[in-house]
A and B are shown apart, each in its own frame.
Chain A
Amino acid sequence: MADLTTDFAGIKSPNPFWLASAPPTNSAYQINKAFEYGWGGAVWKTIGDPVLNVCNRYGAFEYAGNRLVAINNVELISDRPIEVNLREIREVKKLWPDRAVIVSAMVSSNEAAWKQVVQQIEDTGADGIELNYGCPHGMSERGMGAAVGQVPEYCEMITGWVTAAASIPVIVKLTPNVTNIVPPAHAAINAGADGISLINTINSIAGVDLDSFELRPNVGGKGSHGGYAGPAARPIALHLLSQVAADPKYQAAGIPISGMGGIETWRDAAEFVLLGSTSLQVCTAVMHYGFRIIHELCDGLSNWLDDKGAASLGEVVGASVSRISNFGDFDLSFKSVAVIDEDKCIQCNLCYVACDEGAHQCIDLTADGVRVDPATYTGSALLQPIVREEDCVGCDLCSLVCPVDACITMVERPPERAPVTWNELTRTRPEVTTDWDAMIAYRKEVGIEIH
Chain B
Amino acid sequence: MEQHELSLAQLQDSFSETYPRYTKNEATVEADRCLYCFDAPCIKACPTSIDVPTFIRQIANDNLLGAATTILESNLMGHSCGRVCPVDELCVGACVLGREHRPIAIGRLQRYATDHVFDNGIQVFEPGPDTGKRVAVIGAGPAGLSAAGELAKRGIHATVFERKELGGGLSTYGIVVFREPTNVALEEVEFVRKLGVDVRTGVEVGRDISTAELINDFDAVVLAAGTGRVPDLGVPGEELLGVGEALPFIAATKMADKDGLEDLNAIEVGNEVIVVGAGNTAIDAAAIAKRLGAERVTMLYRRSREEMGAYDFEVDFIRNEGVDIRFQTQPVELIGEGGRVKAVRCVRTRLGEPDQDGRRRPENVPGSEFVLPADQVIKAIGQEKLVDLYDAVGVEHVGGYVRTDDELRTSNPKVFGAGDCVRATGHALTVTAAEDGKIVARAIAKQLGVPEPESAPGATRGRFLHDTVNEFGRIHG
Q: Chain A: residues with CB nearer than 8 A to chain B? A: 265-267, 289-290, 292-293, 295-296, 299-300, 303-304, 404-405
Q: Given A265-B61, A267-B61, is A296 in contact with B24 using a C-beta cutoff of 8 Å?
A: no
> What chain A residues lie within 8 Å of B58 (beta carbons)?
296, 299-300
Among the listed B28, B36, B60, B65, which residue makes an inter-chain contact with A303, where contact means beta carbons less than 8 Å apart?
A: B65
In chain A, what residue has the closest Cβ to B63? A300
Residue B437 lies at the interface, judged by CB distance under 8 Å to chain A: no
> What chain A residues lie within 8 Å of B24 (beta carbons)?
405
What's the Cα separation between A300 and B24 when bound, in Å?
Answer: 17
What's the Cα separation between A405 and B65 when bound, in Å?
Answer: 21
In chain A, what residue has the closest Cβ to B38? A290
B44–chain A nearest beta-carbon distance, Å: 16
> What chain B residues lie within 8 Å of A296 (beta carbons)?
54, 57-58, 61, 63, 66
In chain B, what residue has the closest Cβ to A288? B36
Among the listed A299, A300, A404, which residue makes an inter-chain contact with B25, where contact means beta carbons less than 8 Å apart?
A: A404
The interface bits of chain B over 16-48 (1 if a CB of A lies within 8 angstroms of the residue's CB, else 0) are 000000011100100000001010000000000
In chain B, what residue has the closest Cβ to A404? B25
In chain A, what residue has the closest Cβ to B33? A65
Residue B62 lies at the interface, judged by CB distance under 8 Å to chain A: yes
Most-contacted residue by chain A among B28, B38, B66 (CB, 10 A): B66
In chain A, what residue has the closest Cβ to B62? A267
Most-contacted residue by chain B among A266, A290, A300 (CB, 10 A): A300
Are A300's CB and B23's CB within 8 A?
A: no
What's the Cα separation between A266 and B66 when bound, in Å?
Answer: 11
A68–chain B nearest beta-carbon distance, Å: 12
What's the Cα separation between A404 and B29 when bound, in Å?
Answer: 11
In chain A, what residue has the closest Cβ to B60? A265
Are A266's CB and B25's CB within 8 A?
A: no
> What chain A residues lie within 8 Å of B23 (beta carbons)?
405
Are A295's CB and B61's CB within 8 A?
A: no
Are B61's CB and A303's CB within 8 A?
A: no
In chain A, what residue has the closest Cβ to B64? A303
> What chain B residues lie within 8 Å of A405 (beta carbons)?
23-25, 28
In chain A, what residue has the closest Cβ to B25? A405
What's the Cα separation between A290 and B69 when bound, in Å?
Answer: 21
26 residue pairs A–B, Cβ–Cβ below 8 Å: A265-B60, A265-B61, A266-B63, A267-B61, A289-B36, A289-B38, A290-B38, A292-B38, A292-B54, A293-B57, A296-B54, A296-B57, A296-B58, A296-B61, A296-B66, A299-B58, A299-B66, A299-B69, A300-B63, A303-B63, A303-B65, A303-B66, A304-B63, A405-B23, A405-B25, A405-B28
> What chain B residues lie within 8 Å of A267 (beta carbons)?
61-62
B109–chain A nearest beta-carbon distance, Å: 15
What's the Cα separation between A293 and B62 when bound, in Å?
Answer: 15
What's the Cα separation between A405 and B24 when bound, in Å?
Answer: 8
B274–chain A nearest beta-carbon distance, Å: 46
> What chain B residues lie within 8 Å of A293 (beta carbons)?
57
> What chain A residues lie within 8 Å of B65 (beta carbons)?
303
The interface bits of chain B over 123-164 (1 if a CB of A lies within 8 angstroms of the residue's CB, else 0) are 000000000000000000000000000000000000000000
In chain A, what residue has the closest Cβ to B27? A405
What's the Cα separation between A330 and B23 when bound, in Å?
Answer: 36
What's the Cα separation between A303 and B63 when bound, in Å?
Answer: 8
In chain A, what residue has the closest Cβ to B55? A296
> What chain B residues lie within 8 Å of A304 (beta carbons)?
63
> What chain A residues lie within 8 Å of B62 (beta carbons)?
267
What's the Cα separation between A149 and B365 when bound, in Å?
Answer: 91
Q: Given A295-B54, A405-B23, is A300 in contact with B61 using a C-beta cutoff of 8 Å?
A: yes
Q: Which of B62-89 contact A (CB under 8 A)?
A: 62-63, 65-66, 69
In chain B, what residue has the closest Cβ to A303? B65
The interface bits of chain B over 255-270 (1 if a CB of A lies within 8 angstroms of the residue's CB, else 0) are 0000000000000000
What's the Cα separation between A293 and B69 when bound, in Å?
Answer: 16
> What chain B residues lie within 8 Å of A265 (beta carbons)?
60-61
> What chain A residues lie within 8 Å of B63 (beta carbons)?
266, 296, 299-300, 303-304
> What chain B residues lie within 8 Å of A303 (beta carbons)?
63, 65-66
Are B38's CB and A266's CB within 8 A?
A: no
What's the Cα separation between A300 and B60 when bound, in Å?
Answer: 11
A58–chain B nearest beta-carbon distance, Å: 19
> What chain B residues lie within 8 Å of A295 (beta carbons)?
54
In chain B, what residue has the closest Cβ to A290? B38
What's the Cα separation between A304 and B24 when bound, in Å?
Answer: 18
In chain B, what residue has the closest Cβ to A403? B25
Are B66's CB and A300's CB within 8 A?
A: yes
What's the Cα separation between A300 and B57 when bound, in Å?
Answer: 11
> What chain B residues lie within 8 Å of A299 (beta carbons)?
58, 63, 66, 69
Closest 9 CB pairs of A and B: A405-B25, A300-B63, A299-B66, A265-B61, A303-B65, A405-B24, A300-B61, A289-B36, A300-B66
> What chain A residues lie within 8 Å of B28 (beta carbons)?
405
Identify 17 new A-B residue pairs, CB closer than 8 A, beyond the known A265-B60, A299-B69, A300-B66. A265-B61, A266-B61, A266-B63, A267-B61, A289-B36, A289-B38, A292-B38, A292-B54, A295-B54, A296-B54, A296-B57, A299-B63, A300-B58, A303-B65, A405-B24, A405-B25, A405-B28
The interface bits of chain B over 101-137 (1 if a CB of A lies within 8 angstroms of the residue's CB, else 0) are 0000000000000000000000000000000000000
A33–chain B nearest beta-carbon distance, Å: 13
A378–chain B nearest beta-carbon distance, Å: 33
A60–chain B nearest beta-carbon distance, Å: 15
A406–chain B nearest beta-carbon distance, Å: 8
> What chain A residues lie within 8 Å of B69 (beta carbons)?
299
> What chain A residues lie within 8 Å of B57 (beta carbons)?
293, 296
In chain B, what residue has the closest Cβ to A306? B65
What's the Cα separation between A267 and B60 when bound, in Å?
Answer: 11
What's the Cα separation between A266 and B28 when bound, in Å?
Answer: 16
Most-contacted residue by chain B among A266, A289, A299 (CB, 10 A): A299
What's the Cα separation between A289 and B34 when bound, in Å?
Answer: 12
